[in-house]
A and B are shown apart, each in its own frame.
Chain A
Amino acid sequence: MSIEVVNLVKSFGAVPVLEGINLHVRNGELVALLGPSGSGKTTLLRIIAGLDWPEQGTVRFDGEDALQRTIRERNVGFVFQHYALFRHLNVYENVAFGLRVKPRAHRPSESEIAAQVEKLLELVQIKWLAHRYPNQLSGGQRQRVALARALAIEPRVLLLDEPFGALDAKVRKDLRRWLRALHGEINVTSLFVTHDQEEALEVADRVVVLNHGRIEQIGTPEDVYDRPASAFVHDFIGESITLPVDVAAGQVSFDSRVLALDPQGTPAGAARLFIRPYDVSLVSPADALLQGTVKHVKAFGPNLRVEVELLRDSKEAIALEVQARRDERIQTGQMIGLKPERYRIFALPDDSATVPPA
Chain B
Amino acid sequence: MSVMDATQLRVAYQQRTKPKAAQDRPFVRWAIISVAVAFLAIFIVLPLIAVFAQAFSKGFSAYAAALAEPDAQAAIRLTLIIAAISVTINLVFGLVAAWAIAKFEFTGKSLLVTFIDLPFSVSPVVSGLVFVLLFGAQGLLGPWLQAHDIEIIFAVPGIVLATLFVTFPFVARELIPLMQQQGTQEEEAALSLGASGLSTFFRITLPNVKWALLYGVLLCNARAMGEFGAVSVVSGHIRGETNTMPLHIEILYNEYQFIAAFAVASLLALLAVVTLLAKTLLERRIGSAKRGVH
B186 adjacent to A133 (CB under 8 Å): no
Chain B positions within 8 Å of A84 at CB level:
185-186, 188-189
**Which of A92-113 touch B at CB < 8 Å?**
97-98, 101-102
Chain B positions within 8 Å of A78 at CB level:
188-189, 192
The stretch of A69-77, A115-123, A185-193, A290-298 that contacts the partner chain = A69-77
Minimum distance in angstroms from A23 CB to a CB of chain B: 20
A88 adjacent to B208 (CB under 8 Å): yes
B191 within 8 A of A: yes
Minimum distance in angstroms from B68 CB to a CB of chain A: 45
Q: How many A-B residue pairs have CB under 8 A?
A: 74
Q: Main secondary structure on chain B at its contact with chain A?
A: helix
Minimum distance in angstroms from B179 CB to a CB of chain A: 13
Contact of A88 with B207 at beta-carbon distance under 8 Å, contacts A101-B199, A133-B292 already known: yes
Q: Main secondary structure on chain A at its contact with chain B?
A: loop
Select B192's contact among A76, A82, A83, A133, beta carbons within 8 Å. A76
A178 within 8 A of B: no
A263 within 8 A of B: no
Select B194's contact among A72, A85, A134, A142, beta carbons within 8 Å. A72
Select A87's contact among B191, B192, B293, beta carbons within 8 Å. B293
Give the interface size bracket for A toward B: 20 to 34
A254 within 8 A of B: no
The distance in angstroms between the C-alpha atoms of A152 and B189, with both chains bound, is 13
Contact of A135 with B294 at beta-carbon distance under 8 Å, contacts A101-B196, A101-B199 already known: yes
B193 adjacent to A98 (CB under 8 Å): yes
B194 adjacent to A86 (CB under 8 Å): no
Chain A positions within 8 Å of B289 at CB level:
87-88
Chain B positions within 8 Å of A72 at CB level:
191-192, 194-196
B65 within 8 A of A: no
Contact of A101 with B188 at beta-carbon distance under 8 Å, contacts A82-B294, A135-B294 already known: no
Q: Can you offer 12 A-B residue contacts whose CB atoms are under 8 A?
A: A49-B192, A70-B191, A72-B195, A80-B189, A86-B190, A86-B204, A87-B294, A97-B195, A101-B199, A149-B189, A152-B193, A153-B194
